[in-house]
Structure 1
Amino acid sequence: MKGATFGEVFAVREFRVLFGSFVLLIAGDMIKMLALAVLVYERTGSPGLSAAAYMAGWLPFILGGLFLLSLADRMPPRALMIAGELVRAVTCLLLAYAGLPVWGLLALVLVTGLFSPVFFAARAAMLPEVLPGDAFVLGRSVLNVASASAQIAGLAVGGAFLGFAGPSGALAVTAGLSVVAAVVLRVGLPYGPARGAAKGGAVRETLRVNRRLLADGRVRGLLLAGWVPCVCLAGAEAMVVPYMGGEGQAGVVLAAAAAGMAVGEFAVGRFAAPTLRERLSLPLALLLGIPWIGYAFGPEVVWASVLAGVATAGLAYQLGLQRRFVDAVPEEVRGQAFGLQSAGLMTGQAVGATLVGVLGEAIGPGPAIAVAGGGGILVALALAGVLRPSPAPHPAR
């Protein structure tokens, strides 16, 4: 099977629109969380509340993923994506200028964040519609690379705006980015109807479809293969700051990790043929864990960065799962399936960071990172039956 090319992917107008609005979304979210954390710290002087503010935008992903995802298939996707941008714009303006107390700031972010997985699911489910076949996998690769780049750029731009205009000004910039993204989506995407019809309440329907998806052995296996190795990765990355003993050197290591992810996604997405990409899923998933074991030997910043970058290149293993996931999921619930995939990934990362954090308290950051790497290897081997694609059936004679 011949693989798609970047030229073919970017030749699709709808993908260019999704790509541009996605970059604005990720960069804006990074600026928003950074600005909110600084705003809360300025008012309270509490590092704990500041950290809680930084994470507040992600925590509702779990609840929204459990109870609201059916909305991604019951409403037109373009309208949902535009609504998500407008909700983000209004939220940022309220955070910046409404004079809310700290508890009000956090409550606003938590409540509006409940719908984030729905907006993300609408975007993810539209991708295989505008990029059929292998072009979809390459499109996912492009978005993953863009996500890593936009996170780094968003933090850098956010820091610059914080120094220039303060947290309120940075939040206003995020609101502006969201409005621009909403206009891009409205002008650039054609109207499309909802994928499925409403069947009862949104919460009940979400729970029903989640049970249906998880009861399907093929879908469940692919979901677990996408979630569980990343639990170990998130745990290892969560220990980088205490391991390096300072934010400066930790930033170098984490930047190397982001770069390794981008390089892996680009290389596997662009240069590996579709069948090879699927065969690489198992060895790349093993690569996700192996380098972290080197932290048991106490590497300094240079080697720590190299090990982190090599490990995160293994995240490209997920590209070999994407086509099979689309094929396994019924089209009428595709939005919810992609939303469940994202919500489970976010939840798993939080669990991994927490568990390895507790382990790091007991045995130290370096050994804890090595244990997380070993866990990643064991998980990949346990999931080998899913990660290794089944051989194509021989034609009947």
Structure 2
Amino acid sequence: MARAASGVTFLGVLKVREFRALWTAEVLSVLGDQLARVALAILVFDRTESAALTGLTYALTFVPTLLGGILLGGWGDRYPRRDVMVIADVIRAVLVGLMIVPGMPLWVLCVLVAVMTLFFGPFKAAQQALLPDVLEGEAYLTGMALRNLTSQSAQLVAFAGGGLLVAAVSPTAGLALDAATFVVSALLIRFGVRERPAAVTEAEEDRATGVRAFLYRTGAGARLVWRDPALRALVALNWLAGFYVVPEALAAPYANAIGAGTGAAVGWLMAADPIGSVIGAWIFGRRWIPEPVQVRGLGVLGILAGIPLILCLLWPGLVTGMLFFALSGLLATGYNIQGTVNFVRRLPNNQRAQGSGLNSAGLITVQGLGALVAGLLADAIGPAHAIAAAGAAGALVAVPIAVAWNRARGSSADTSEA
């Protein structure tokens, strides 16, 4: 049963059994995934000493989600959302388990990473579509803020501890833990979330088959978003992450460039953005800033998130660099939480997974592309300058997005302000 709430707290949403299961599963998965990213980044950089190849490998943990979210995201509408999540978790556990086979060639490892990432798309789409059924009203916004806070905290722990773990043991240890988290996540969701029928009823189900019918259904989410100016603006705002993920992607070469090494320092640099995001989730999720103010300021926060990264032109050391990365993460979290909530609320239930899949897939993909381009750029101009360039580009791109959001918000009633 969905829960409505008034003045609901973080503890309040955790009392909802289904949300608690989803939340715990997500925290475990994030811990495993980020630990695996640290392991892969260190493994590839140690083997190749190439920022470009490190960025490419990091990109493979993001980019294939585009195909998974767009092509497979609709599974969360056509099939029970709980089942889609469980199946995706099991498949990913098997794929990550194969990565720890001794002597695994680097190219095979990259293929496994890409296929594993592909199945994050339908998992995330089904998860995002299911959450409004578990929590509604103010409880939904509070639950989203808590998810952001705890997932970023899990990233912080995994990034900071991951560097130490990988340095002390081996990259395969991090991958093994990642596989285990997928198994536990599947069990939590299977037994902690009640079964619900598919959102698309038999009467609504399109029985047409073939490539053209598949492509038409797959494009439904894109058509839905494109026709709504507010949805378009919110998607574009969320996709600014393609610029703001660059500090994480270049943590290894940046640490090396400032003489901090590529072990624990890499983990701490990767952890800086999550530290800021945790603080941001607390500030914005606890309603210290009223929700209507947050909604109006989404575009401004998107612009401001790029400013701290521009300061990397000064080649800051480890601690100062972490402060810049954390401030950027704090500001980005401010627009991400409220933007995602407004986006999902605007989607009809029978297209919620498809629309959410498009948003999530694009979000993950632009982060992967940003990591790839940043790696190439860092080889040419150095990691600090590449990070500064990403911050400047993000701030500039955010300006027209902010204008579009203000126009769309002013021409139609926003559900969060209704």
Q: TM-score, normalised by structure 2?
A: 0.80
Q: Percent identity?
A: 34
2:241 is the counterpart of 1:230: yes
- Residues 77-129 of structure 1 show CA distances to partners (whole Å, capped at 9, x for unaligned) of 11111112221222233333597655544434433432220011111111111
Does the aligned pair in 2 maintain the 1:62–1:347 contact within 8 Å? yes
State the alpha-carbon separation in 1 of the partners of residues 323 and 40 from structure 2: 32
Instruction: Tell me: CA distance 1:194–1:276, structure 2 relative to 1, closer, same or farther (3 Å).
Output: same
Residue of structure 1 equivalent to 2:364: 346
Residue of structure 2 equivalent to 1:77: 81
Instruction: Tell me: CA distance 1:240–1:340, structure 2 relative to 1, closer, same or farther (3 Å).
Output: same
Instruction: Tell me: CA distance 1:367–1:12, structure 2 relative to 1, closer, same or farther (3 Å).
Output: same
Secondary structure in 2 aligned to 1:154?
Answer: helix
2:280 is the counterpart of 1:264: yes
Residue of structure 1 equivalent to 2:65: 61
Picking from 126, 151, 154, the partner of 2:130 is 126
Amino acid at match of 1:234: V
State the alpha-carbon separation in 2 of the partners of residues 297 and 286 from structure 1: 20
2:402 is the counterpart of 1:390: no
- Residues 168-224 of structure 1 show CA distances to partners (whole Å, capped at 9, x for unaligned) of 555444333322222211221110111125434584245321331243133222211
Q: CA deviation at 1:237?
A: 4.9
2:286 is the counterpart of 1:281: no
Residue of structure 1 equivalent to 2:416: none
Structure 2 unaligned regions, length at least 5: 414-418
State the alpha-carbon separation in 2 of the partners of residues 169 and 298 from structure 1: 33
Residue of structure 1 equivalent to 2:232: 220
Residue of structure 1 equivalent to 2:394: 376
Residue of structure 1 equivalent to 2:29: 25
2:326 is the counterpart of 1:314: no
2:221 is the counterpart of 1:204: no
Q: CA deviation at 1:368?
A: 3.8
Q: CA deviation at 1:266?
A: 1.5
Amino acid at match of 1:296: L
Instruction: Tell me: CA distance 1:94–1:349, structure 2 relative to 1, closer, same or farther (3 Å).
Output: closer
Q: TM-score, normalised by structure 1?
A: 0.84
Residue of structure 2 equivalent to 1:296: 313
Does the aligned pair in 1 maintain the 2:38–2:267 contact within 8 Å? no
Residue of structure 2 equivalent to 1:332: 350
Instruction: Tell me: CA distance 1:103–1:300, structure 2 relative to 1, closer, same or farther (3 Å).
Output: closer
- Residues 355-394 of structure 1 show CA distances to partners (whole Å, capped at 9, x for unaligned) of 444444555444443333232322222112344443887x
Instruction: Tell me: CA distance 1:235–1:57, structure 2 relative to 1, closer, same or farther (3 Å).
Output: closer
Amino acid at match of 1:376: G
Secondary structure in 2 aligned to 1:383?
Answer: helix
Secondary structure in 2 aligned to 1:24?
Answer: helix
Amino acid at match of 1:373: G
- Residues 25-49 of structure 1 show CA distances to partners (whole Å, capped at 9, x for unaligned) of 112223445556778899xx55667
State the alpha-carbon separation in 2 of the partners of residues 36 and 250 from structure 1: 12
Does the aligned pair in 2 maintain the 1:232–1:373 contact within 8 Å? yes
State the alpha-carbon separation in 2 of the partners of residues 237 and 171 from structure 1: 19
Does the aligned pair in 1 maintain the 2:141–2:341 contact within 8 Å? yes
Secondary structure in 1 aligned to 2:369?
Answer: helix
Q: CA deviation at 1:240?
A: 5.2
State the alpha-carbon separation in 2 of the partners of residues 298 and 34 from structure 1: 23
State the alpha-carbon separation in 2 of the partners of residues 359 and 104 from structure 1: 26
- Residues 214-248 of structure 1 show CA distances to partners (whole Å, capped at 9, x for unaligned) of 43133222211211x32221245545554451436
Residue of structure 2 equivalent to 1:191: 195
Picking from 5, 11, 17, the partner of 1:7 is 11
Amino acid at match of 2:15: A
User: Which deviates the most, 48-57 or 172-181?
Assistant: 48-57
User: Which deviates the most, 142-151 or 105-114?
Assistant: 105-114
User: Which deviates the most, 205-214 or 121-130?
Assistant: 205-214
Using CA pairs under 8 Å that are at least 6 residues apart, name the structure with larger relative contact order, 1 or 2.
2
Secondary structure in 1 aligned to 2:410?
Answer: coil
Instruction: Tell me: CA distance 1:264–1:204, structure 2 relative to 1, closer, same or farther (3 Å).
Output: same
User: Which deviates the most, 129-138 or 366-375?
Assistant: 366-375
Aligned residues: 390
State the alpha-carbon separation in 2 of the partners of residues 101 and 290 from structure 1: 40
Structure 1 unaligned regions, length at least 5: none
